[in-house]
Structure formats: C-alpha cells, structure tokens
Amino acid sequence: MSNIRPTHGDSDWFVKDRFGMFIHWGLYSLPARHEWVKQREEISDEDYQKYFDHFDPDLYDPKIWAKAAADAGMKYFVITTKHHDGFCLWDTKLTDYNATNTPYGKDVLRPMVDAFREQGIKVGFYHSLIDWHHPQFVVDSMHSQRNHPDRDKLNEGRDQKKYIEYLKGQVRELLTDFGDIDILWFDFSYPKNENHPNDFVGKGHEDWGSEELNKMIRELAPNIILNDRLDIPDIWDIKTPEQFQPVEWPKVDGTPVVWEACQTFSGSWGYHRDESTWKSPEMLVRMLVDTVSKGGNLLMNVGPTGRGEFDKRALSALSEYGKWMHHHQRAIYGCTQAPDEFKAPVDCRYTYNPDTNRLYVHLFAWPFRHVHLPGLKNKVAYAQLLNDASEIKMPKPAGVHTNVQASMEQNNLTLELPIVQPDAYVPVIELFLK
C-alpha cells in the first residue's frame, strides 16, 4: 500500500520488523491476579504497600529475557516503566515509589534496556498516564479509591496540574537517561464522552498536558514512534488496537495507518498465576500472520513473575513462536498486505514482500491436494514450501483433474500440495511473482 498515513517519528524500521515483545512487570506481579488488581479490588495505598515491601525479584536476569525475545523472532520490546499503580521500575528522581527502594534495592529498567540492546532489540517505553498512587492525581471514577466514603475530601488539595509536571518530568528522564528510545507508548485516555457518560471525572488531553508533552517528546526524540492514547488526533504515529484482531487494515479518514495489535498469551497483561485462557501455539502463530497480512505489527505480551522470570507457560509459547519463525520469518519481516489485486482464498492469508516481489500463502487449514489462488494464473514463476524449499508444482491444464482445469480457466492458479501437511502450525508457500 502506498498511501499510508505518514508518521512524525521514524517508522521505517517498525513496519519491517513486525514483531515485538510487550512486558508488563511491576508490583502487581506479586498478588499475581491481574495488573489492575489495585483498582479492581479497591485496595488502598496502605494495603498495596505490602507488595512494595516484598518486591525482591531475586532470579531477575534480563539477559535471559532478551535472549527469549530474540529466539522468538522479536525485534523490539516495550516495557512498562510505570503502570497504573504508579510504581516505577527505574531510579527516578521524582518519586521514592520505585524499584530502588524495595527490598531488591536496584533499578530494574537500566539492565533490561542494556540486555535487550545487546541482542539487537529496539527499545520501547510504555508509560502509564493513569496513576493510582500519586497524591496529586485527581481521584475519578476509574480510580482505585473511587468508592472511598470521603471521596470529595480525598480530592481536596489535589492538583492535576502538579501531576502533569510530574508526568512530564518522568518522561524527560526516560527520554534522556537511557539513550535513544525507539517507541513511547502511553496508556491511556478516557475522556468524558458518550462511552463514559456517567464518569464524575474522565481524563483526556487536558489532564495529561498532552500538547506540551508531545512538544517536549518531539524535541527530545524526533525519531521516536508515539502511540495513539494521548487523546489528540494527529500527533500520534501508530494505532494500537488491543485484545482483538481488526477485520482489515485500520484506517483513519479512509487512509490506512501504521498500526500494531497488542495481545496477551493469556487474559492478563501482568503475571496471573491462576488465569487459564492461554492461547494455543497455533492461534498465536495465526495472530501474527493475520496481523502482518493486514499491514500491521504484533506486540505480544509477557508478564514476568515476582521473582523476575518468564514462567513456563510464557517460555513455551515463546519457543513455539521461535520454531515457527525459524522457518517462516521471511514471510513476516519486511512483509505487508498483498496488493489489492490478489485476494487470498478461504482459510488462507497472504503476506507480501514488495522488495523481493514474493507472495506468501499462509494456510490456516491444510486442503486436500489443491489450493486455487484467484487472479494468479500466469503470474508466478516458481513456488515452494517455505519450511524446506521443496518445490510446489503448478499443474498445467492438460491431463489433470477437471476441477483443476475449471479453476485455471477462471484465472486461478492451482497449486498441487502434498497430502501430508508440513510440520508447522501454519505452513507457508512462497510464490516468486513474475
């Protein structure tokens, strides 16, 4: 697609790399029942303090994390520098509520950034706009203290403007103390509107000082990629649909945009011990393929444990990605949606590399003997299975089964497949276009 909405930051690398790792790590890894636990269970600061007092990830070794990401085929990562509970992973000068004051006693962000960079992985910072710990953050209907009997009193003396200064100051630290940051990922705005009509206070761009914030960010880091959750149209670079797969390439005012789906292995972003809706490896691979087939990126989340490890389930899912990517990365990196003239048949997705002019047919269901590809007759010079470079025949009409003949007459290209599906969650056929 040529008419993609231009970005302010540098998204050239982003639309080629396609696959990243999201990491949600913080105090909520200890209760281990969702990163919104403070809000959902309306836990007071005093009661939440026990997680701060016991944060001691003794097994934390970010080199292991970075290696797991690289082995899975991930090219960039986005880490929660601060989530909604307000806890900061780095040695920020602007609050004591950070990792260095926990029993662990050290900045956990800096070694992570170093370790991922060492693996050649680009660095993104997620930063929560919302803060259920900061004393100046005005309590609203989303806040963990929303049902406090003395809510109005709680808000006496709170000054959101002071919070804005804090937010700005922290973003300045993040963009100046860690070398060049590639992505800044804010989360999130919920302005009072038709979706939130009863909010006693929603929060949007005025509550974050989004305009000013953006100005500062663009000055400090002109190439950075900014996500779309600051509640101002036009300043963002990428759209970030979450927990669903868009039906088609997302557009704004009819123009396709650079976009990234963010997804979880199970139903929680933070480590959740008892959550059991872990996606199958097959579904995970399909989600990656589906995303790239619509011109997008996939940011897949891991929620490390309170001891500082990726748990077994996450490691296993990552290694399944790694196995698939080992043979099929060529159908992901540098790829995008296929030109409009090529429409994938039922149960298939196409990805396309414009530089090599190769089209990739991803088969979500392995058919018996033939697959018929509309509009591709006489357009393909050579076809092979991607996993082992074994030839896929393109039978000529004469002497073959009549359904192949009929299909070819309709301008389809028919491929002859082996009966046995290759050992891959999603097998891929590589087509060298003429």
The contact set with ligand GLC (CB under 6 A) reads 24, 35-36, 187-188, 242, 262, 269
Q: Which is nearer to ligand GLC, 267 or 339 (CB)?
A: 267
Helices (H) and strands (E) in the chain, counts: 12, 15
**Distance of alpha carbon 57 from alpha carbon 419, whole angstroms:** 50
Q: Which is nearer to ligand GLC, 78 or 386 (CB)?
A: 78
* 268-285 residues labelled b (16+ CB within 10 A) or e (exposed): bbbbbeebeebbebeebb
Minimum CB separation from ligand GLC for residue 8, in Å?
Answer: 21
Minimum CB separation from ligand GLC for residue 377, in Å?
Answer: 43
Minimum CB separation from ligand GLC for residue 222, in Å?
Answer: 25
Question: What region does 311 belong to: left with phi over 0, alpha with psi -120 to 50, or beta?
Answer: beta
Tokens of 220: 């400090």
**Distance of alpha carbon 386 from alpha carbon 359, whole angstroms:** 11
Place of tokens 């950070």: 98
Minimum CB separation from ligand GLC for residue 149, in Å?
Answer: 26
Specify whether the CB–CB gap between 328 and 424 falls below 8 A.
yes
Minimum CB separation from ligand GLC for residue 227, in Å?
Answer: 9
Specify whether the CB–CB gap between 71 and 107 falls below 8 A.
no
Q: Which is nearer to ligand GLC, 272 or 358 (CB)?
A: 272
Q: Which is nearer to ligand GLC, 36 or 321 (CB)?
A: 36
Minimum CB separation from ligand GLC for residue 412, in Å?
Answer: 41
Q: Which of 12, 29, 115, 5 shows the shortest CA–CA distance to 310? A: 29
Q: Shortest Cβ contact with ligand GLC: which residue? A: 242
Q: Which is nearer to ligand GLC, 270 or 427 (CB)?
A: 270
Minimum CB separation from ligand GLC for residue 260, in Å?
Answer: 10
What is the enclosing helix (H) or strand (E) of 64?
helix 62-72
Q: Which is nearer to ligand GLC, 166 or 188 (CB)?
A: 188
Q: Which are the contacts of 434, defined by CB distance < 8 A and separation ≥ 6?
A: 378, 379, 380, 381
Q: Which is nearer to ligand GLC, 187 or 430 (CB)?
A: 187
**Distance of alpha carbon 428 from alpha carbon 283, whole angstroms:** 15
**Distance of alpha carbon 167 from alpha carbon 228, whole angstroms:** 17
